[in-house]
Structure 1
Amino acid sequence: MPEPFVAYLRVYEPLSSFDAPLREELAAAIDRGPVDPFDAGLREQDVWLRSQLAAPPRLLPGEAPDGSVQGERDVLVLDPEEVPTAPAATVGPAPLVCPLDLRGRAAAALVGFLGDAELPLRAAALSVPAEQAKVRASAVVSELAGSAVHVLSSTWTVPLPWFVLVDPAERCVFTERDRRRVCWRVAMADARRRVARAHAIGRQSIGEEGPTRILRETGRWLERFHPHSAVELDYGGLVQLMSDSDLEADTSAEDVHAIVDAMEADDAEEVATRYEALRDFWSEFAARERHN
């Protein structure tokens, strides 16, 4: 089964920044063995499918039929030494931990699905009445009021404002067992600084909607985490759709940063040129989404 065609924006916080008993649960997850970053998408897919194929099916992964929490936490772990930082930024101490937060993320997605999907689709997809599903999912989302999920995801493409967070020159391409992984890592302080600058420029240039709104929401999300955390932009399963020539031609991060600079300089021609390059590159993946 192919890995889900999903890209991720993740936050890794120092384990020491978590309060008990969550800190002990995450430490136990590390001792059992963190999720292999190459397998993160497949792990999420497996946990979700198991929850839906159980008898009776579970509404959300990581819970019993009655809605109570069960199972063990899954985490990704990152060494601070693997995170490029500007001179004024601090990352750590180790280990840096990213809980996959599958139950909370699934609940938030379910609330959105129930609000957008047509009645026949809701009836076909749910194992319980829609109103019951909404109540249970909303209750899980409410539990997150004092915290935030550590992972944002996007199917079939990468939201272009996410590239603002990273240094284009720091892209990492890993290979393992004929598989590739493409990601950027950045210190939280650097990510917040870049988002704040891009948001201010975007608000002045194009207003508060569209990419500017995404930057505002992303900035607010980042503020909810420890200041010595790390942020990772990961192409995830999208690399399955990319050939070697695609990766060589991918200048998305450079183009997004150039657009921000051009907007600040009021250079409309440069903005248009860079945006056209982004549109041309990502249109192939958008077409695959439509075909599926």
Structure 2
Amino acid sequence: MTVVRTSVQPPYSAHLRVYEPLSAWPEPERSHWRAYAAERGPDAEDREPVAGAALAEQREALAELLARTPRALPEQESGQAFVRLLEGTLYVCPRTTRLRSWQALEELHRELPAHLLDTVLPPAVRAAAEADRQAWWADHPDARPWILSSRWEVPVGWFLPFGEEDRQYVPQGEGEPPTAPALFYLTPMVQARRRVARGYRVLKEQVPRGPLVRGAERVGRWLEEFHPRSLVELDYGGLVHLLGDRLAGERSVAELADGLGALRAGDGAAALRAYESLTGRWRKLLALRQAS
């Protein structure tokens, strides 16, 4: 397991990850990941967080930026992964750094004004990245990321695959500097798909045109891409530092479940209260982005 003690804080991002069992990989990928895990060891055993490995990934990315002229994306896809060992089974979540960089670039297009985007990434750099993306997709039409990331918030739809019993809270550890706290949810894929399907049906019946329906649909389609015996993880990542003292009492998964239960029972007022409580908390964090 990777353990990192550092005063550097990770970005304010949350991550939704899928870990596929080693048996899901065809050869030669299976042998590659088996050797990779044997050489490095798992990043987490049982229900430990992968926070140390995630922070190490961020530090590696920062080191690359400092060592060369910044580019829109890495020249080659990462050969690294997050590795979990749970109940004797090895699970692998490839980092797919290059693919995720393309997705981040698309997000920048949506969020930044044109003049600011040109300052961060000049048009020629973006055009080259887009040409690379088109050529890569032509050769990899079925590719998908094992990791989704969200800055400054956890999208409400990401809470659907989990139950309160999946919650894992690790308080800040002692040491100098101390290890950071962690909050994550980990559940089997079968359970995750079942919960998303149930939530989607309720939302489709009660609020068919709301953003929750679209979010549930996106998450459900993404999960269908993976092996049915995979693991699904929601990692609050660097958002733990924004939540501060509220982290130990953060129960968004339970609040969403309460709201869906109220919808099933026909109690619209209770469902609205749960939804407003849930979204209000994350709006406060998003407001910090505007102030930063």
TM (norm. structure 2) is: 0.84
Of 187-196 and 199-208, more deviation after overlay is shown by 199-208
**C-alpha spacing 1:129/1:102, structure 2 compared with 1 (3 Å):** closer
Distance in 2 (CA, whole Å) between partners of 1:95 and 1:25 is 13
Instruction: Name the amino acid aligned to 2:81.
Output: V
1:32 corresponds to: 39
1:186 corresponds to: 187
Instruction: Name the amino acid aligned to 1:206.
Output: V
Distance in 2 (CA, whole Å) between partners of 1:279 and 1:121 is 29
1:250 corresponds to: 250
- State whether structure 2 residue 281 is matched by structure 1 residue 268: no
The 8 Å contact of residues 13 and 151 in structure 2, kept in 1 or not, is answered as yes
1:9 corresponds to: 16
Q: Write out per-residue CA displacement over residues 209-229 of structure 1, whole angstroms, 9 at most, x where no aligned residue.
A: 411111111111001100000
Distance in 1 (CA, whole Å) between partners of 2:140 and 2:241 is 33
Identity of aligned residues (%): 32
Instruction: Name the amino acid aligned to 1:73.
Output: G
1:130 corresponds to: 126
Q: How many residues align?
A: 273
- State whether structure 2 residue 289 is matched by structure 1 residue 289: yes
Distance in 1 (CA, whole Å) between partners of 2:248 and 2:118 is 44
The 8 Å contact of residues 174 and 182 in structure 1, kept in 2 or not, is answered as yes
2:84 corresponds to: 78
Distance in 2 (CA, whole Å) between partners of 1:161 and 1:115 is 20
**C-alpha spacing 1:253/1:142, structure 2 compared with 1 (3 Å):** farther
Q: Write out per-residue CA displacement over residues 60-85 of structure 1, whole angstroms, 9 at most, x where no aligned residue.
A: 13x2xxxxx26x5221122233xxxx
Note the 1:69-218 alignment, pairs <5 A.
69=76, 73-81=79-87, 94-114=89-109, 117-126=112-121, 128-175=124-171, 176=173, 177-218=178-219
Of 220-229 and 18-27, more deviation after overlay is shown by 18-27
Deviation at 1:99, TM superposition (A): 1.0
The one of 42, 55, 75 aligned to 1:42: 55
Distance in 1 (CA, whole Å) between partners of 2:135 and 2:67 is 22
Distance in 2 (CA, whole Å) between partners of 1:181 and 1:143 is 38
2:230 corresponds to: 229
The 8 Å contact of residues 107 and 141 in structure 1, kept in 2 or not, is answered as no
Deviation at 1:150, TM superposition (A): 0.6
Of 177-186 and 137-146, more deviation after overlay is shown by 137-146
- State whether structure 2 residue 239 is matched by structure 1 residue 238: yes
Q: Stretches of 4+ moved more than 6 A in 1?
A: none
For structure 1, the residue ranges without an aligned partner over 5 or more in a row are 64-68, 82-92
Instruction: Name the amino acid aligned to 1:52.
Output: L
**C-alpha spacing 1:132/1:243, structure 2 compared with 1 (3 Å):** closer
The 8 Å contact of residues 71 and 125 in structure 2, kept in 1 or not, is answered as no
TM (norm. structure 1) is: 0.84
The 8 Å contact of residues 184 and 232 in structure 1, kept in 2 or not, is answered as yes
Distance in 2 (CA, whole Å) between partners of 1:192 and 1:46 is 33
Supply the RMSD in Å over aligned alpha carbons: 2.3
Q: Write out per-residue CA displacement over residues 20-45 of structure 1, whole angstroms, 9 at most, x where no aligned residue.
A: 33323323332332557122442332
Deviation at 1:120, TM superposition (A): 2.5
The 8 Å contact of residues 19 and 231 in structure 2, kept in 1 or not, is answered as yes
Give the SS at the match of 2:285.
helix
Give the SS at the match of 1:146.
coil
Give the SS at the match of 2:89.
coil
The 8 Å contact of residues 7 and 237 in structure 1, kept in 2 or not, is answered as yes
**C-alpha spacing 1:41/1:6, structure 2 compared with 1 (3 Å):** farther
The 8 Å contact of residues 189 and 229 in structure 2, kept in 1 or not, is answered as yes
Of 214-223 and 267-276, more deviation after overlay is shown by 267-276
Distance in 1 (CA, whole Å) between partners of 2:79 and 2:253 is 32
2:65 corresponds to: 52
Deviation at 1:115, TM superposition (A): 5.8
Deviation at 1:100, TM superposition (A): 1.4
1:88 corresponds to: none
Instruction: Name the amino acid aligned to 1:225.
Output: F
Of 111-120 and 213-222, more deviation after overlay is shown by 111-120
